[in-house]
Amino acid sequence: MKQLQKTIFPLILALILVLSTGMTVLATGEGNIDGGGGGMGSGTKTDVWHSQDGVRVTVVTTSGSVVSTPFDLTSSSIPNATINFGHVCKLQYTSGASLSPGGSYTCSRPATPLPRIISGTSSKASIEAIRRYFCSEYTAQLVASKAGIAFEELVSGSYKLVIEPIAYFTHGGRNYAMTATEAALYNQMSGGTLRSKLPSLTHQNLPLSIFLETPDLGYPAWGGTTSGKVSDAEILSALGIGIVTYKEVPAAELEATDYTYRVDTDVITSITLTSSREVNPDNPASVTFHINGRSYTVNNIVMPAGGSQVVWAKWHTPMEPTVLTIQASVSGASTAKTSFTARIVSLEENLPPDPMATDVNPHFSLPSLPSNPQKTSASWSVWSARWKPVWVWVSTGHKSSCSAGCGKNHGHYEDHGYYVFTSTGYSASLSGSMEIHPDDIVPTAQGDNMKSGYGIKEAATARFLANAPLSHYAPAQTGVSYFPEFSYKDYWRLLSCSGGMNAVFAFKANEFSTYNRNVHFTPVWFPDGTSYTVYTYIIDAWTPSGMLSVNVNDSVQIQGSLFDDWYSKRE
């Protein structure tokens, strides 16, 4: 498994997909998908959408010059004989390219399936899932390979991706592949046949599935309807296009990162002080940490000559990802470094895409479980000093007022004592356990045996033990689960946390769950007779000696799929 920083922040460059945030791509009024025969609108056997979609991807410069041959991606099985118009992007059509028949249709099926692009009767597209997919490192690597551009060059800030939705449908009894722009051009050339036969697809759900939030590359932001029919002119000028922008890394982010923290988390930042002389209560050392506009001061630091002392600040990270510079002002001792770069990251950015009943993965093989670095114990110590008095008589001789021969040696006692240093040791440990089970509403589960396609629930427990004051530590706060269908990378789920010394982690509500269940859905294609194993990395248990972490995992057994539970009773 990659180092934690790469795992939880897979692409240092900011990837922003400029798409609609509207979720009402499919309206509940006129033009909704018909329920009969899988058609749409007034669809028939000769004019019908098969709920198959994809995207056309084109690499362009930041000024809009096309630098790669457009290519199509889909998770569906599309015949080569499908009628198409070649691989031409919206920018090229806008510049004057004409609609002309292409040859044998070619497209690619990525190993990680695409999310739903166009809403249908039984499944609704999620613009958030689309964003996550096309803003992931996986997709950037895929595009770099398909376009013949080095990954580092692609994400250098010099290029953008143009993303166009594609619909695969039957029209006049023949199968077609069209982008929204091509459908509008074809409708114009054919005298309006597409709008008359498949209006809810070609002039509503397809063009409105992806559009711009802000103007870019000469195309305006779409401010019109997101639930009604649109015209050919509106499609050609503004719809059926999304843009991925690879932004250059800000100068601050180019610095080496000393710490990586998660958003909204209690953390500990520590430094080590040293001194060749004794640092005692008469002349103690102090440290002030300057973090995100606040100061955290530690006073009365002591240590014996030649000793060292770890000093720390416990603080709470910002709610949003950012890069911070942490400064430490030190007096009375020395430290190796006083300025640090801390990257604050979010783990909410790579949720798995919507699992579809049509998903397939015939070449899947079970991946090995990750082996993230784990640290399950830590120790540190704090110096204290107490004065050990040593009383010594100091003679002042005979006083003049004293008669000769009084025999008294006048003087006084002086304390010639010294400081005795004591090191108090502290320690902490982290242990974890995990269980996954079929969701409570899975109808045919038997114990931990279940059919694929249903949801699973998780309960992971992190037990934190420490013999130190609360200011010395923060118990485990973060659990991240990874899944075999994504080879335990690319996508993950950030778990909810109960908090405390015995924290319990569980799935959050799944945005694709009809019943808002706290589950993860197993892929319907997962092989029978195999263990479906979820891996969870529990982190963010902080001590002055660093972060504690632990790996846990558990499995359910897959036999059959949810399709086996679909049947009709016949007399």
Give the pLDDT band of residue 568 (cuts 50, 70, 90).
Answer: very low
In a domain, 156, yes or no: yes
- Structural domain total, the chain: 4
Domain co-membership, 416 together with 444: no
In a domain, 508, yes or no: yes
- What burial class does residue 26 get, using C-beta atoms within 10 Å of its C-beta: 0-12 exposed, 13-18 middle, 19+ buried? buried
CATH number at residue 282: 2.60.40.10
Which one is predicted more confidently, 65 or 15?
A: 65
Name the nearest CA neighbour of 435 among 409, 406, 459: 459
Residue 477 identity: Q
Strand 449-452 to 546-561 pairing:
parallel
CATH number at residue 557: 2.70.50
Q: What whole-number distance in Å separates Cα of residue 480 and Cα of residue 476?
A: 12
Give the pLDDT band of residue 403 (cuts 50, 70, 90).
Answer: low
Residue 193 identity: T
Tell me, letter by letter, the H, E, C secondary structure of 411-462.
EEEEECCEEEEEEEEEEEEEEEEEEEEECCCCCCCECCEEEECCEEEEEEEE
Contact 521, 454 (CB under 8 A): yes
Mean pLDDT of 281-298: 96
Residue 398 pLDDT: 61
The string of pLDDT tens digits covering residues 490-504 is 789 999 999 999 999
Domain co-membership, 502 together with 520: yes
Residue 407 pLDDT: 62
Q: With 60 as the cut, is the pLDDT of residue 6 above it?
A: no
Name the nearest CA neighbour of 486 among 355, 347, 371, 345: 355
The region that residue 26 occupies, defined by phi over 0 for left and psi between -120 and 50 for alpha, beta otherwise, is beta
Domain co-membership, 369 together with 310: no
In a domain, 262, yes or no: yes
Residue 559 pLDDT: 97
Q: What whole-number distance in Å separates Cα of residue 376 and Cα of residue 157?
A: 40
Q: What whole-number distance in Å separates Cα of residue 88 and Cα of residue 58?
A: 9
Residue 56 pLDDT: 97
Residue 119 pLDDT: 84
Q: What whole-number distance in Å separates Cα of residue 219 and Cα of residue 212?
A: 8
Domain co-membership, 409 together with 458: no
In a domain, 13, yes or no: no
The string of pLDDT tens digits covering residues 311-339 is 999 999 999 888 899 999 999 999 988 99
Question: Would you mind telling me the total number of residues written for the chain in this entry?
Answer: 571
In a domain, 505, yes or no: yes
Mean pLDDT of 288-305: 96
Question: Across-strand partners of 285?
Answer: 301
Domain co-membership, 81 together with 134: yes
Residue 19 pLDDT: 46
Residue 152 identity: E
Residue 538 pLDDT: 97
Name the nearest CA neighbour of 169 among 75, 80, 53, 25: 53
Residue 251 pLDDT: 45
Residue 402 pLDDT: 64
Residue 481 identity: S
Q: With 70 as the cut, is the pLDDT of residue 255 above it?
A: no
In a domain, 323, yes or no: yes
Domain co-membership, 85 together with 121: yes
Residue 364 to residues 74, 194, 361, 487, Cα–Cα distance (Å): 17, 39, 6, 10
Tokens linked to 306: 């030649």
Which one is predicted more confidently, 568 or 411?
A: 411
Tokens linked to 450: 């279940």
Residue 320 identity: E
Domain co-membership, 139 together with 24: yes
The string of pLDDT tens digits covering residues 352-379 is 888 888 888 888 999 999 878 889 999 9
Residue 410 pLDDT: 79
DSSP sequence for 247-312 = PPPPGGGGSPPSEEEESS-EEEEEEEEE-SS-B-TTS-EEEEEEETTEEEEEEEE-B-TT-EEEEE
The alpha carbon of 485 is separated from its chain's Cα centroid by a whole number of angstroms, namely 17
Q: With 60 as the cut, is the pLDDT of residue 535 above it?
A: yes
DSSP sequence for 110-175 = -SSPPPP-S--SS----HHHHHHHHTSHHHHHHHHHHHT--HHHHTSSSEEEEEEEEEEEEETTEE
In a domain, 4, yes or no: no
- Which domain covers residue 123, as residue numbers? 20-246
Domain co-membership, 293 together with 162: no
How wide is the angle at C-alpha 482 spanned by C-alphas 440 and 452, nearest 5°? 45
Q: With 60 as the cut, is the pLDDT of residue 45 above it?
A: yes
Contact 115, 136 (CB under 8 A): no
Q: Which helix (H) or strand (E) holds 71?
A: strand 71-74
The string of pLDDT tens digits covering residues 454-506 is 999 999 999 999 999 999 999 999 999 999 999 998 789 999 999 999 999 99
Domain co-membership, 369 together with 229: no
Contact 518, 508 (CB under 8 A): yes
Domain co-membership, 418 together with 332: no
Domain co-membership, 238 together with 290: no
In a domain, 503, yes or no: yes
Q: What whole-number distance in Å separates Cα of residue 251 and Cα of residue 392?
A: 63
Q: What whole-number distance in Å separates Cα of residue 358 and Cα of residue 551?
A: 33
Q: With 70 as the cut, is the pLDDT of residue 48 above it?
A: yes
Q: With 70 as the cut, is the pLDDT of residue 401 above it?
A: no
Domain co-membership, 192 together with 80: yes
